[in-house]
Structure 1
């Protein structure tokens, strides 16, 4: 299991979480609360560098600039739109056609270079093209594979995070317990406490 596939992995202190079960969905989750407050977690190129490293894509991401950030955020939004709308209508509107073209174009980019050192240490190198290629390839694999049927949106009405429900019973409700799941539990507990006995 790779770092980005581990649904229990969480970043500490900077708001990045890796709970979606797919790299593409974890990137989509860097824009929170899309229906209301819209909290952007990739505010600057250094945020992007940290996300790339924590996602396990590159060991030491090089300098990222505003153009790299814009490209990644554009792909993120295209993937989110496509995944939410999939399968597309027989004659998708121009916005969906553009989103699909964006994802397909990025999926043709090279992947990060993996090299195994003699001591057994794996190194992952590349730049923004390789990051885009890996994330878009993951989205294409998701849309064309069996995991798509297990994609859900968190049941917290404010949360818009998508995740792959890999639970045995296929009844996962929350993107993560430490965020939305625990909030729901606390709200239900308070509600029960207020009810007359």
Structure 2
């Protein structure tokens, strides 16, 4: 497994495919069509790789950044950017992934464009629905992952304890030991 899914919704996990956005050189996790395909399969959006091409990758990156702008606006309490709203709505109006019933159970089939439609629809639900109040950004300064805080008391601080939470706690322990 190459990708991680700590955010509570695939749309936010998709936004997290670029890490450390504020760094001089952000870390891109889906920079080639093959990585985009593997993200679709690992996320469970599709059961088989859709054979994405560079046009699909451009569309995915455009959608990812539009979703990020909408989420960022919600986090900051700002109005939603019109261009991002248009881009997400345009993608959400597409044909979704097909769910098929067969002898072995269900399967999810579709193209990269259909998977992006599903992500856009989920993003609309997150940004415009009750989950918008649960949006948080990771508390580790270098991390820019956004997640839904469904914890008891809404006190979650990190996108994932096994990554950022451990790093912050280990750094605090080292600092205490140095003193």
What TM-score range do you get, normalising by the shorter chain? over 0.9
Aligned position for 1:122 = 106
Conservation of the 8 A alpha-carbon contact between 1:61 and 1:125: no
Structure 2 residue runs without a partner (length 5+): none
Q: How many residues in Structure 1 have an aligned counterpart in Structure 2?
A: 176
More helix by share: 2
> Offset at 1:177?
1.1
Q: Deviations over 1:32-77 (max 9, x none)?
A: 0000131101111000010000010110022111110110010000
Q: Secondary structure at the match of 2:163?
A: helix
TM-score for both structures, normalised by structure 1: 0.86
Aligned position for 1:167 = 151
Q: Equivalent residues in 2 for 1:42-191 (5 A)?
A: 42-86=30-74, 88-89=78-79, 96-119=81-104, 121-191=105-175
Aligned position for 1:9 = none
Structure 1 residue runs without a partner (length 5+): 1-11
Q: Give the distance between the partners of 1:163 and 1:153, measured in 2 at CA.
A: 6
Q: Secondary structure at the match of 2:153?
A: coil
Aligned position for 2:22 = 35
Q: Secondary structure at the match of 1:169?
A: helix
